[in-house]
Amino acid sequence: MNNFTYERLHNNLQYLKMNTIEELLDNCLELAARDSKTTMEVLDYLFEQERKHREAVAIERRMKSAGFPVNKTLEVFDFEFQSSIDKTVIYDLAMLRFVHNAENVVLLGPPGVGKSHLAIALGIEVAKAGLSVYFINAGNLIERLKTANREGVLEKKLRDLMKYKVLIIDEIGYLPFDEEGAHCLFQLISRRYEKSSTIFTSNKSYGEWGEIFKDHIIAAAVLDRILHHSTTINIKGESYRLKERKRQGIKTGNLYQ
Ligand SMILES: Nc1ncnc2c1ncn2[C@@H]1O[C@H](COP(=O)(O)OP(=O)(O)O)[C@@H](O)[C@H]1O
Ligand SMILES: [Mg+2]
């Protein structure tokens, strides 16, 4: 390859933003000549690396914009400890058919049983599959929606939230919503109904949702839309945090430390 060809090739790769190929090219051509690789093999290798790198960057970007508070994956979830959860149901959800069908997932149970962990783990699967996902605490979400409502930009805020293929609303029920908050949330849920998936976590059973909304009619209307196409995971076990504390307590000989 003469100098002109070499330079033009590098310039074109830069122009086309094929940075990985550009980086690997010289070394790859050298090794290919040494190992008598075919042109097809060289091209295949280079494009495969470029694609892999771009995918990894895109996943990283989606993971950042998802706003996960911590990184929790399915692989580190101990299904033996939480025997009320059917592992096959969770792994089936991780195939993301529910996302393609715009269905919802609701994780219910007392504190510490892994609701947020599983919601984040499913969210990570969504990001890995190349789809957009956003995690938000229910209290924060309501505050943001109410602020937008007062500033007359609720419509824009709702549209912004529609761009996520999956929205994770964590901790419904820790704080009750006032009338305005319930009304805003109802609007969001109505928008997403049958269009995009939402994952909810809550420490309150469905029967108690009326208290969260203070208004039983709105609660019923919200639940009606959420539950029409949804999977509920009811977790009944012991808190994992408590288990960890007990284990530490046994080590130190004091359960109450
Ligand atoms: N079965 C489990 N296997 C591994 N870690 C778990 C399990 N259940 C809960 N945890 C961990 O315990 C902590 C509390 O779980 P979390 O999902 O926040 O509970 P919840 O949202 O139900 O209150 C987190 O650090 C989580 O990763
Ligand atoms: Mg939680």
Residue pLDDT, tens place only, 28-46 = 999 999 999 999 999 999 9
Cβ partners under 8 Å of residue 161, min gap 6: 134, 167, 188, 191, 192
Choose which residue among 77, 117, 242 to substitute to test ligand 1 binding: the one with the highest number of ligand atoms within 8 A of its C-beta.
117
Q: For ligand 1, say whether the CB of 244 is within 6 Å of any of its atoms.
A: no
| DSSP-assigned beta bridge partners for residue 136 | 169
CB 164 within 8 A of CB 133: yes
CB 196 within 8 A of CB 162: yes
Q: For ligand 1, say whether the CB of 200 is within 6 Å of any of its atoms.
A: no
pLDDT at 39: 95
> Ligand 2: distance of its center to the CA of 96 in Å?
21
Say whether pLDDT at 257 is over 60.
no
> Considering the chain, what is the average pLDDT of its residues?
93
DSSP collapsed to 3 states, 227-252:
HHCEEEEECCCCCHHHHHHHHHHHHH
Mean pLDDT, residues 216-223:
91
